Structure 1
């Protein structure tokens, strides 16, 4: 079963982002996001957010660490990025905000902040989003560093 997530950026009212269908658990998502920001985007979190959120407005089937392979619905390798807006899918924009999050469909939220990657674990048993578990990892965190216990 896919672990679904949202990758987002902060907004004045909360956050806004895109759906990612597969591999949403922190053990898979955190190394990819840290590696992409530290490597491909050379520490520029805004450039990374533009790529993930603005240049691919329909969202993602999966995220990978390979930025040299073409995008689209056909898997070109285990590290390829697959978006819903390029190739034969050609889906329209799908913006998700804090008002759209459903813990049954979006198990994790990855908030790309200037000071780090905020990882939020959604929980349908909690009454409000303020009660959901959250952890901030600095962008300088090594991609293979052990995750905090709350994220395992």
Structure 2
């Protein structure tokens, strides 16, 4: 009889299912890699741990939010180079021998790319938390006035975000992400009557969304519109908080740097929301019937021929940007540059599908700031 005494969960599962333990895998790999490591020796000692004593001592002595923030910001700046170096290695590991090309979601290359993004999340979240403390101290957000809304189903009520403070811009920092004011939007798939999409809380302006979506289609999703729709629209339980640089997996480093300024941040969903009555959050669906009442400014319908851009407050439809458009194109955020198709083209039974257009592209500098 097999005795579980003294064995860990990994060993017990290995015996039960007839598989190797994690330690077995590492031991076998270490044995087979010995000749390689003899030719390419690596440091045996771990990286030196930072001395946190000065930071902890200063934090204990801090008496105001400003003083505590000064300590936190110094630590984040000191830690950024190390975390960025780890992130760079994880990206290189994901791209080893081109294994990331065509890799499925959840595959090891995709897991490594996510780890690369998540390794920088500590910097971004720590910075964001510090700014929230300073915001409460120096510039508290006034209560948002109530506004009448049309009756909507529970799946499309953006007031479930009422207890989330609005995003605010943060100062530029070479090591940390920057934020823009929250611009709400949606991403949708086309339907017979219009579109069916999902709510996106941040970075909704065309200058931020279009380059990211175009690059994601051309590289991560390898020109597969349906795969992109399934990931961005169908695969979300509640909604998106923001879309991150994980969507740029597989894109050339020069393009990624041009679009992000060298920053990285993960995509985040709204599954963690706390509703006013304590009930679980529900899917925040956006359709052509509900968009105007859901306080979204922009919409992006992922069509076969390209991305239809809708300025929700001014039009029910919009021009289509072709999928082959260069992601480096500078797009305008002014609603006047995104007019709806003419009524004649919409009502004519023999009208062709919307033609791709670049009319909304303007020759103006694009800021590197986000959110």
Q: Is the 1:57–1:95 Cα contact (8 Å) retained in structure 2?
A: no
Residue 323 of structure 2: aligned partner: 139
Residue 73 of structure 1: aligned partner: none
Q: Is the 2:186–2:299 Cα contact (8 Å) retained in structure 1?
A: yes
Question: Equivalent residue of 2:189, what SS?
Answer: strand
1:22 aligns to 2:209 (yes or no): no
Q: Is the 1:16–1:97 Cα contact (8 Å) retained in structure 2?
A: yes
RMSD (Å) for aligned C-alpha atoms: 2.3
Residue 103 to residue 93, structure 1, CA distance change in 2 (3 Å): closer
TM-score by length of 2: 0.34
CA distance in 2: counterparts of 1:145 and 1:33, whole angstroms: 12
The alpha-carbon deviation at position 103 of structure 1 amounts to: 6.4
Which structure shows the higher helix fraction?
Answer: 2
Q: Is the 1:6–1:17 Cα contact (8 Å) retained in structure 2?
A: yes
The alpha-carbon deviation at position 96 of structure 1 amounts to: 1.4
Alignment coverage as a number of residue pairs: 136
Which structure shows the higher strand fraction?
Answer: 1
The alpha-carbon deviation at position 104 of structure 1 amounts to: 7.0
Q: Is the 1:8–1:110 Cα contact (8 Å) retained in structure 2?
A: yes
Question: Equivalent residue of 1:51, what SS?
Answer: helix
Q: Is the 1:111–1:118 Cα contact (8 Å) retained in structure 2?
A: yes
Work out which of the residue numbers 216, 221, 226 in structure 2 matches 1:46.
Answer: 226
Work out which of the residue numbers 306, 309, 312 in structure 2 matches 1:116.
Answer: 306
Question: Equivalent residue of 1:111, what SS?
Answer: strand
Work out which of the residue numbers 62, 65, 81 in structure 1 matches 2:267.
Answer: 81
CA distance in 1: counterparts of 2:235 and 2:291, whole angstroms: 21
Question: Equivalent residue of 1:79, what SS?
Answer: coil
Question: Equivalent residue of 2:215, what SS?
Answer: helix
Q: Is the 1:35–1:65 Cα contact (8 Å) retained in structure 2?
A: no
Residue 93 of structure 1: aligned partner: 283
TM-score by length of 1: 0.79
Larger Rg belongs to: 2
CA distance in 2: counterparts of 1:79 and 1:142, whole angstroms: 22
Q: Is the 1:103–1:122 Cα contact (8 Å) retained in structure 2?
A: no
The alpha-carbon deviation at position 58 of structure 1 amounts to: 1.1
CA distance in 2: counterparts of 1:79 and 1:31, whole angstroms: 15
Q: Which runs of 5+ in 2 are unaligned?
A: 1-180, 250-262, 274-279, 338-359, 363-371
Question: Equivalent residue of 1:9, what SS?
Answer: strand
Report which structure shows greater RCO (CA 8 Å, sep ≥6). 1
The alpha-carbon deviation at position 93 of structure 1 amounts to: 2.1
Q: Is the 2:310–2:316 Cα contact (8 Å) retained in structure 1?
A: no
The CA deviation string for residues 49-69 of structure 1, in whole angstroms up to 9 with x for no partner, is: 00011111311000113157x
CA distance in 1: counterparts of 2:201 and 2:283, whole angstroms: 15
